[in-house]
Chains A and B, each alone.
Chain A
Amino acid sequence: MISWFQTPPSQRPLFRVFVSALLVLALCCFCSLLLGAGGLSPQASFQTLLGNGSLDDQFTVFHLRTTRTLVGVFVGLTLGIAGAMMQSVARNPLAEPGLLGVSAGSSFAVALTLVLGASTATLTVGVAQFGALLGCLCVLGVARMQGQQNDPIRLVLAGAALSSLLFAITSLILLFDQRAADEIRFWVTGSVAGRDIQTLLSVLPSMLMAALCILYVAKPLASLALGERVAIGLGHKPKRIRAVVIVAVALLVGGATAIAGPVAFIGLVVPFAARALVGPDIRRTLWLCLPLGPIIVIAADIVSRLVAQPAEMPLGVLTAIIGAPVLLLIVRSRRMPTL
Chain B
Amino acid sequence: MTATSLKHPKHIHETTSLTRLGAEQLTLKHGKTSIIENLNVSLPEGKVTAIVGPNGCGKSTLLNGLSRVHSPSAGVVLLDGKDIHALPSKEVARRLALLPQDTLAPDGITIEELIRFGRHPHQSLLKQWAMDDQQAINYALNAADLEGLKDRLLDTLSGGQRQRAWIAMSIAQETPLLLLDEPTSALDLGHQIEVFELIRHLSRQGKTLAMVVHDLPSACRYSDHIIAMKKGEIITQGSPKEVMTKELVRELYGVECDLIPDPMTGSPILINMKRVRN
Query: Which A residues form the contact surface with B (CB < 8 A)?
Result: 8-11, 215-216, 219-220, 222-223, 225-230, 232-237, 279-281, 337-339
Contact = CB atoms under 8 A, between A and B. Distances in A.
Interface of B: 64, 67-69, 88-94, 96-100, 102-110, 113-114, 117-118, 120-121, 123, 125, 153, 170, 173
Nearest to A215: B125
5 tightest A-B CB contacts, nearest first = A235-B93, A10-B108, A233-B98, A229-B100, A235-B90
A10 B107 contact: yes
B109 A223 contact: no
Contacts, number: 90
B107 A338 contact: yes
Contact of B100 (A10, A216, A233, A279): A233
A267 to B, nearest CB: 20
Given A230-B99, A338-B107, 4 more contacts: A230-B98, A233-B69, A233-B97, A233-B170
Given A8-B153, A232-B68, A234-B173, A223 B107 contact: no
A235 B121 contact: yes
Contacts of A225: 104, 106
Nearest to B96: A233
A280 B103 contact: no
23 contacts: A9-B108, A10-B107, A11-B108, A11-B110, A223-B117, A225-B104, A227-B102, A227-B104, A228-B102, A229-B69, A232-B67, A232-B89, A232-B98, A233-B97, A234-B121, A235-B93, A235-B120, A237-B89, A279-B107, A280-B108, A281-B109, A338-B106, A339-B106
A67 B98 CA distance: 52
A269 B173 CA distance: 36
Nearest to A335: B107
A226 B104 CA distance: 5
A10 B97 CA distance: 26
Pick from A8, A225, A229, A338 the residue with the most CB of B within 10 Å: A229
A225 B88 CA distance: 22
A231 to B, nearest CB: 9
Nearest to B102: A227
A234 B117 contact: yes
